[in-house]
Structure 1
């Protein structure tokens, strides 16, 4: 069984990602593994945040076998679209693969960041499209090769927890949460 997980990770690391310039324009491609080698190459990614009817956000704890930021809490799901692939389409596929869920979502902005993972030596340098959705029905059915655990939490509680123990959370979570909350606040005020 361990060999199956290792093979899946190796295959995902070989997939192509779209490299982008400082304005988010495509400038080339390379394998996932190379984009995440220090010092990192800026590439297109996405982060999905799902909220329930009570305003809670769905988090996942990344599986211990992840090559970047393993066992840390992160947004609902994340990944990389294939070069030229629409971000929302890629996000829908990864949401189903990682969490066993399907719902609609809206892109609310881009969060650009660079973060080094001291435990693995890998680097995230991403032009991260943030997508927000509502999950009114359905129960997560996470893939254990991708997700160790999940939880629903109020954003204010999450911010307190991140302040108390920042090492338990991925470095991009705060930034994508900021974008998501700003967009939701603007939507609710209309």
Structure 2
């Protein structure tokens, strides 16, 4: 178990109100405990950055997902946690981030049995150029893709993607001026 599995996450009720804390490992053990998370979308015009999750990830390894994901610690703001995680996973700094919605989902990883039961805050950053240095323990690969191509591929090959990605993208396009 990696060190991140021992970090604390904020448990939430059905409405997203904080009700306690648990370790990452305990929150993701079957049957899963609802907790706060975030998903960062980095976009450049009509393209979004995808990361292929590293093979050592305990949940949905080698699946394609949004730029990065994580969990704020209890009491930490979502945007502060997202900024920290962008640095840790991608080596990216200085991107202004704003929250655009929350996607609530539950998914069981068929390979590991671990459970995602998350109130996932969707955070967006617009970038004109990106100088990323991904941590290989977190990220297997990066690629830019248009939203139209991504939606089509999600329909064709859903098992290649993290189960939260379609819902996270739904928050992006539902915002005023969304793409």
**Normalised by the size of structure 2, how large is the TM-score?**
0.96
Structure 1 alignment gaps of length 5 or more: 1-8
Alpha-carbon separation, structure 1, partners of 2:174 and 2:49: 17
Q: Does 1:135 align with 2:127?
A: yes
Moved over 2 A (4+): none
Alpha-carbon separation, structure 2, partners of 1:50 and 1:90: 15
Structure 1 or 2, whichever has the larger Rg, is 1
Q: Quote the residue 2:67 is aligned against.
A: 76
Larger strand fraction of residues: 2
Q: Does 1:157 align with 2:128?
A: no
Aligned residues: 178
CA shift for structure 1 position 181: 1.8
Structure 2 alignment gaps of length 5 or more: none
**Is the 8 Å Cα contact of residues 172 and 178 (structure 2) preserved in structure 1?**
no
What CA deviation, in whole Å up to 9, does each residue of 1:7-51 have, x standing for no partner? xx5210000100000111110001000000111000000000010
Larger helix fraction of residues: 1
What CA deviation, in whole Å up to 9, does each residue of 1:50-101 have, x standing for no partner? 101x310000000000000000000000000000001100000001111111
CA shift for structure 1 position 188: 6.2
Secondary structure, in 3 states, of the residue corresponding to 1:187? Answer: coil
Q: Does 1:109 align with 2:101?
A: yes
CA shift for structure 1 position 137: 2.5
Relative to structure 1, is the Cα distance of residues 34 and 182 closer, same or farther in structure 2, using a 3 angstrom cutoff?
same
**CA RMSD, aligned part only?**
1.2
Q: Quote the residue 1:5 is aligned against.
A: none
